[in-house]
Amino acid sequence: MVGNEYAKAIYELAHENNKTKVFSECFMVVSETAIKNNQFMEIMTSPVINKQEKKDIIKKVYSSLDEEFIRFLYVIIDHNRFSIIKEIYDEYENLILIDKNIIKAQVFSAKELNKNQMDEVIKALETRYKNKKIEAENIINPELIGGIRVLVNNESVDLSLKNSLSKLKESIL
Say whether both 131 and 47 belong to one domain: no
pLDDT for residue 161: 46
Say whether both 106 and 75 belong to one domain: no
Q: What tens digit of pLDDT does each residue of 10-33 get?
A: 999 999 999 999 999 999 999 888
Q: What tens digit of pLDDT does each residue of 78-89 get?
A: 999 999 999 999
Number of domains composing the chain: 2
Q: Regarding predicted confidence, which is higher, 156 or 158?
A: 156
Domain boundary among 79, 97, 115: 97
- Structural domain of residue 117, as residue ranges? 102-172
Task: Say how many C-beta atoms besides its own lie within 10 A of residue 73's C-beta.
Answer: 22
Say whether both 106 and 167 belong to one domain: yes
CATH number of the domain enclosing 122: 3.40.30
Asked if the model's pLDDT at residue 54 lies above 50, the reply is: yes
Say whether both 87 and 115 belong to one domain: no
Q: What is the mean pLDDT of the chain?
A: 88
Least confident of 50-54, 105-109, 142-146: 142-146
Q: What tens digit of pLDDT does each residue of 98-122 get?
A: 899 999 999 998 899 999 999 988 9
The rounded percent of the chain whose pLDDT value lies above 90 is 62
Residue 104 C-beta-side C-alpha neighbours within 13 Å: 13
Please state, in angstroms and rounded to a whole number, the distance separating the CA atoms of residues 107 and 122.
Answer: 10
> Is residue 46 classed as helix, strand or coil in its secondary structure?
coil
Q: Regarding predicted confidence, which is higher, 2 or 114?
A: 114
Q: Which of 67, 173, 157 is nearest to 108 (CA)?
A: 157
Say whether both 68 and 136 belong to one domain: no
Q: Which amino acid, one-letter code, is at 113?
A: L
| Rg of the chain over all Cα atoms, to the nearest angstrom | 21
Asked if the model's pLDDT at residue 57 lies above 90, the reply is: yes
Q: Which of 21, 13, 15 is nearest to 71 (CA)?
A: 13
Binned at pLDDT 50, 70 and 90, residue 128 comes out as confident
Say whether both 106 and 152 belong to one domain: yes
Q: What tens digit of pLDDT does each residue of 87-99 get?
A: 999 999 999 998 9
Q: Which of 29, 71, 28, 78 is nearest to 51 (CA)?
A: 78
Query: CB burial class (10 A; 0-12, 13-18, 19+) of residue 20?
Result: buried
